[in-house]
Amino acid sequence: MRGRVRFLDTRPLRGSRPFRDLWIGTSVSQVGWQIANVAVLAQTWALTGSPVGTGAIGLATGLPMVLFGLLGGTLADTVDRRAVVRATTAGQLLAAAALCAQALADNRNVLLLLALVALGTSCGALGAPARRTFPVRLLPGDQVAAGLALTNISFQAAMLTGPALAGLIIARWDFAAAYAAQAAAMVVSMLAVLRLPAMRPEGAGAAGGRRRPERGGWRIVLRRPTLWGSMATDLSATLLAMPIALFPLVNETRFGGDPRTLGLFLSAVAVGGITAGLLSGTVTRWRRAGLVQLSAAGVWGLALACFGLVGPLWPALGCLAVAGAADTVSVVTRSALVQMETPDAYRGRVSSVEHVIGVAGPELGNFRGGLLASATSASFSLAFGGLSAVLAIAAVAATNAPLRAYRTPPATAKPTAPGPADAAAAAGKTS
C-alpha cells in the first residue's frame, strides 16, 4: 500500500447502513443550514441596514454554542445519545418552521428573528456532543477516520453549494422559501436519526434510563497527553492563524475591493478542503494520526503566512487552497483521535470540549487577527499569525511524545478504557 494514492475511502458508506443513513441526513441538513445562514444574514440586513445588526447574529449563535455545547456533553454521557439527537433535531426542525412562519408573516422585529436563530443554534449545540460520538460507535476502529473524512467533505460541499442555492432561492421566492428549504432538510435529517440504533453510554444499563455520569469527565482531557495535545494543536492553529476576518482588508488593499475576488478567497479554501477529502483514502489509512495532525496544522500555518506575503492573485489563491486542504486533514485526524482515545463513558463531555474549542478558537482567532491588522497591516497579521501558529504547534510536538507516537487502533481494537491517570482524575470529585 506504500506509495499509492488512494481516493476517498467509502468503506463506511458501503459497510454500515446506520452510518450511511446518518451521513445522508447530515449532508442534507448541512446544505439546509448554509441556505438558512445566508437568509438570516440577508433578512437581518434588510431589517436593520446596520453592521451592528448583522454582527449580533454572531452573538445569537456563539453564546448558545458554548453554553449548550458544554451542557450537551454531560447529557450525552447520561442518557441514550440517539434520544438526545432525536430531541434536538426535532427542536431544530421547529425553529426552522418558526423562521419560515415569521418570514411569511412579514416580521419586522429583528429581535424575534435573532431569538429564533438562537433557539435553533441552542438545539444544535445541545445535540452536537452526542452526534460527534456516533461514528466511533457505528464503525470499526480502522474506518472511523474515513467516516469523519466523508462527513467533512459533505460539509465542504455544503459550503460551496449552500450559499449559491440560497441566493437563487431568495432572489426567486424570498426569505420564507429559504427557511422552508432548511425545514425540509431537517425532516430528512430527522428521518435518518430515527433509523439509528440505540446508543446508550457504556455502563448505562440495559434499561437505558438516566444515570449519574462517570466522575472526572472533563479532566480526562488534561490527564491524557494525546487529548490535550490534539486540542492544543487545533487551538494554536485557529487562535493564531485564522484568516477569514482579514479577507475584506486583503481584498481592498491588494485587489481593489472586487467582491468577486473576495468570493474566490472563500472558494479557494473550500476547494482545497474538498480536494483533500477526495484524496483522503491514503491519509485515513495512516495510523500515525498524531503526527499527521501536527504536520497538517503546521502546513496550515505556513500556507497562511505565505498568503500574507505573496502579491499576485493566483499564488494567493493557491496558498488558501493548500491551507484548506491542510485544515481538512488536521480536522479529520484530530476528530478520529479524540473519539478513539476517549473512554465511551466520558465521550460526550470530551466531545463538548472539542466542540467549544472548534467554535471559540476560530472566532477568537478572527478577532485577534483583526486587532493586529488594525495596528499594523493585513500582511503582517497573516504572516506573524501563521508563523506563530507553526511555532506553537512545534512546541506541542516537542513536549508531547505520546501525541507524536499515537497510532490509531486496528479494526479489532475495543474502545479505549479508563487508565490509572483517569481514575486519579475522577477520584472523589464530580466533573
Domain termination site, one of 201, 236, 261: 201
Task: Please check whether residues 116 and 21 belong to one and the same domain.
Answer: yes
Q: Enter the pTM of the model.
A: 0.69
Tell me how far apart the alpha carbons of residues 321 and 310 are, in angstroms, rounded to a whole number: 14
Q: In which domain, by residue range, is 325 found?
A: 212-431
Domain termination site, one of 146, 168, 201: 201
pLDDT at 415 over 70: no
pLDDT at 1 over 50: no
Q: Is residue 1 part of a domain?
A: no
Q: Give the mean pLDDT of 293-306.
A: 95
Q: Which three cell numbers stand for residue 245?
A: 476576518
Dihedral, 393, 394, 399, 405 alpha carbons, nearest 10: 90
429 pLDDT band (50/70/90 cuts)?
A: very low
Domain termination site, one of 147, 182, 201: 201
Q: Is residue 206 part of a domain?
A: no
Task: Please check whether residues 161 and 222 belong to one and the same domain.
Answer: no
300-318 pLDDT, tens digit each:
999 999 999 998 899 999 9
CA distances from 30 to 72, 124, 202, 292 (A): 20, 12, 29, 27
Task: Please check whether residues 218 and 187 belong to one and the same domain.
Answer: no
Task: Please check whether residues 98 and 119 belong to one and the same domain.
Answer: yes
Long-range contacts of 13-20 (CB under 8 A, 24+ apart): 13/150, 15/139, 15/143, 16/138, 16/139, 16/143, 18/138, 18/195, 18/196, 18/197, 19/134, 19/135, 19/138, 19/139, 19/147
Long-range contacts of 310-319 (CB under 8 A, 24+ apart): 311/254, 313/255, 313/261, 313/264, 316/250, 316/254, 316/265, 317/264, 317/265, 317/268, 318/268
Q: Is residue 351 part of a domain?
A: yes
352-393 pLDDT, tens digit each:
788 778 877 787 787 788 788 888 888 999 999 999 999 999
19-23, 267-271, 337-341: which has the highest mean pLDDT?
A: 19-23
- Phi-psi label, residue 174: left if phi above 0, alpha if psi -120 to 50, beta otherwise: left
Residue that the C-alpha cell 439546509 belongs to: 32
217 pLDDT band (50/70/90 cuts)?
A: low
| Sign, CA torsion 254/255/258/259 | negative
* Contact between 98 and 114 (Cβ < 8 Å): no
Task: Please check whether residues 344 and 267 belong to one and the same domain.
Answer: yes
Residue that the C-alpha cell 449559491 belongs to: 164
Dihedral, 277, 281, 287, 291 alpha carbons, nearest 10: -40
Give the closest residue to 86 by CA, choosing from 126, 35, 30, 121: 126
**Residue 420: CATH number of its domain:** 1.20.1250.20
pLDDT of residue 425: 42
pLDDT of residue 365: 81
Q: Which three cell numbers stand for residue 323?
A: 491551507
Q: Is residue 269 part of a domain?
A: yes
Percent of the chain with pLDDT over 70: 85
Q: Out of 244-248, 256-260, 421-425, which region has the weakest mean confidence (pLDDT)? A: 421-425
pLDDT of residue 206: 42
203 pLDDT band (50/70/90 cuts)?
A: low
Q: Give the mean pLDDT of 116-144.
A: 87
Task: Please check whether residues 194 and 222 belong to one and the same domain.
Answer: no
Q: Which three cell numbers stand for residue 427?
A: 477520584
pLDDT at 403 over 90: yes
Tell me how far apart the alpha carbons of residues 33 and 166 are, in angstroms, rounded to a whole number: 10
Q: Give the mean pLDDT of 76-92.
A: 90
How big is the chain by its Cα radius of gyration, in Å? 21
Give the closest residue to 74 by CA, choosing from 18, 29, 129: 129
5 pLDDT band (50/70/90 cuts)?
A: very low
Task: Please check whether residues 113 and 259 belong to one and the same domain.
Answer: no
Task: Please check whether residues 184 and 218 belong to one and the same domain.
Answer: no
User: Which residue did the predictor score with more confidence, 236 or 270?
Assistant: 236
* Contact between 431 and 213 (Cβ < 8 Å): yes
The mean of the pLDDT values for the chain is 82
Residue that the C-alpha cell 507553526 belongs to: 390
